[in-house]
Structure 1
Amino acid sequence: MSDWQTHFLPNNWLDACSYLKQQQQPFCIATIVAEAGSVPRATGAKMVISQQQQFDTLGGGNLEFSVIKHAREQLEKGTKSNHIERFSLAADLAQCCGGAVQVLFEYFLVDQPLITIYGAGHVSHCLCEILAKLPVQVQVIDNRQQWLDSIGQFGVNTHYHAQPENSVAELKANSYVVILSQDHSLDFALSLAALRRGNLAFVGVIGSQTKAQRFRYRLAEQLENPAQCDQLTCPIGLSEVSGKLPMQVAVSISAQLITLLEKHAKTGDRDQQKHQWESSNTLRKQLAGEQLNE
């Protein structure tokens, strides 16, 4: 696959989170949650920090330098627990402001589901616009570079591949595969390669009921285990949505994917959710009990 192609550059902390998520880079959101005295930024100011980049600002100077240094040290350790640190601008950082702040550090290690979209056409554009705002990683693979160039605006990963079906073997296990190519023969080749994997979370293909019947008949002939055909979702999307406009189809597909993602998360992430809840409770108690001193 080629390197990532994009025209997307984040211009605020929220876009930066989406950008780093799609780049599969761990990051930290640092937020001023309390202040006392003269400080460079008020409560609520945020910045986003990865090992190589930072976005937005907490006011610069030694405060920002120390926040970035602390965040990167914890990212290097793979820290998952959110925590609050106190910074005294005069006593600890030798800044003229003289005040003090408490900074909440929230870590995101980007262990998120991967959705691979084959095809960068009109439906794919609309789908990427939706999925880029969700806690998932998205990559689009196509054999038409000009279409990939136009889809990079959403901050998703794009890869050119002359024979997209050959890239299926490279997908990580439990990936979600959405097949929206411009060619029925390519759709079939991608479906066959994906079903042969046997370890993907979802394989969906755009098309009609007639296309689905033909595909299943041919797949049953070529698959080593014809029962693998049952893993194919075609037509993809919610049957209740009958609209044919690209955005209508994309919303239907997104709703189906979100339903599956939530179902899989409930069975696989209970321990992580418990950890996040306990961490949040600790932070709330810490915020309620601490007082800032000049």
Structure 2
Amino acid sequence: MSSEPRLNSHSPAGEKYNWSTACQLLQQRGAAFCIATIVAEAGSLPRGAGAKMVIAEFEQFDTLGGGQLEYEVVKQARAGLQQRHRSASMSCVAIERFALAADLGQCCGGAAQVMFEYINTHTPKLAIFGAGHVTHALVKIIKELPCNLIVVDNRQDWLASIAQQGVYTEYHPQPADAVNNLAETSHIVVMSHDHSVDYQVVLQALERQCFPFIGLIGSASKKQRFEQRLQAQLSQPQLLSQLTCPVGNSDVPGKLPMQVAVSIAAQLIHLFATAPHGVQPAATALASEQWHGVNALRNALKSR
């Protein structure tokens, strides 16, 4: 995850969004993001109370006025996203105070109370590489589950029919390049139309050493060939133990696309259920306390 803020309010496609339309965009993707809101102000600030911006892992939208305040807010929001990906017990709301002169060296001299609201941080994440027949069947199941789903391929026409199902897709001439943009908690299923693409995706995913699941579709002979090459090319041969091949639940028989999709979905549902997703009661209670404390924090800030 990058700690450097993006200095624009655009999507990767170049479209400009304000904070509210950005929320719609990121919700459609199922992506994790943070809404940063100035809830109280004192003295001079670039923007006043009520100003909002949205921060995702690799993008940011709208503005709190720029400068060091915005830089620190973006940096803290991204750190918070990363922390909440790893721990389901953390609150989805946090409030921090920033003194522009004393803490940030800005000449405005004011102070701000900023509320950080974290969205979709505990939703299971799934990246499917390959938009073939099995993926078309699989997304019909997965899109009905609480899941942040993305499908990556180097064929625009195959991705277009996936996107028509309301699934977020990404075109990459070299699909393995997309691996580095995935959250560390992503589950990965690799089943493209090209064994060389599959291999590069698997190699890149194993080298990152962070994903909870890397599954590869394939026969026994494909598994053997891949294992031999990976043993020779991985920086640490023991990383090969993180690969599951063939992917899917062996208790589900059949080779038709939907039968294979059901097998993979069964395995993923089990993995999602055993992962530490979901906001815990303690975190929900803490978030409620913080929400109710906003007015008190605002009054305390104004009195200084």
Q: TM-score over 0.5 for the alignment?
A: yes
Normalising to structure 2: TM-score of the pair? 0.56
Distance 1:172 1:262 in 2: 18
In structure 2, distance between residues paired with 1:244 and 1:108: 41
1:128 and 1:198 map into 2 onto residues whose CA distance is: 26
Decide whether aligned partners of structure 1 residues 192 and 19 sit closer, same or farther in structure 2, where only a CA change above 3 A counts: closer
Counterpart position of 1:273? 280
| Residue of structure 1 in register with 2:252 after alignment | 241
Compared with structure 1, are the counterparts of its residues 255 and 3 closer, same or farther at alpha carbon in structure 2 (3 Å cutoff)? farther
Summarize the Cα distance change of 1:80–1:169 in structure 2 as closer, same or farther, 3 Å threshold: closer
C-alpha separation in 1, matches of 2:252 and 2:269: 15
Does residue 20 (structure 1) correspond to residue 27 (structure 2)? The answer is yes
Supply the distance in 2 between the matched residues of 1:173 and 1:116 (Cα, whole angstroms).
11
SS of 1:24's partner is coil
- Counterpart Cα distance in 1 of 2:283 and 2:260: 34
For residue 263 of structure 1, what is the aligned residue in structure 2?
274
**Paired residues of 2:154 and 2:173 also in contact (CA < 8 A):** yes
1:208 is aligned to 219
Corresponding residue number in structure 2 for 1:197: 208
The question of whether the paired residues in 2 share the 8 Å contact of 1:2 and 1:159 is answered with: no
Cα RMSD, aligned residues only: 3.5
Counterpart residue type for residue 120 of structure 2: V
Q: What CA deviation, in whole Å up to 9, does each residue of 1:154-193 have, x standing for no partner?
A: 2221111001112212212121111010011111111111
1:227 aligns with 2:234: no
Counterpart-to-counterpart distance in 2, 1:215 and 1:150: 30
**Structure 1's 263 and 207: CA in aligned 2 closer, same or farther, altered over 3 A?**
same
What is the total number of aligned residue pairs between the two structures? 196
Aligned match of 1:92: none
TM norm structure 1: 0.58
Task: Give 1 or 2 for the bigger CA radius of gyration.
Answer: 1
Partner Cα separation in structure 1 for residue 125 and residue 188 of structure 2: 9
Distance of 2:32 and 2:272 partners within structure 1: 21
Classify 1:108/1:201 alpha carbon distance in 2 versus 1 (closer, same or farther; 3 Å): same
Q: Distance in 1 between matches of 2:240 and 2:272?
A: 21
Contiguous gaps of at least 5 residues in structure 1: 5-16, 28-50, 53-78, 82-106, 280-294
Deviation at 1:21? 4.9
CA separation of 1:196 and 1:80: change in aligned 2, threshold 3 A: closer
- Evaluate the alpha carbon distance shift between residue 210 and residue 25 of structure 1 in structure 2; reply closer, same or farther with a 3 A threshold: closer
Cα offset for 1:80?
Answer: 5.4
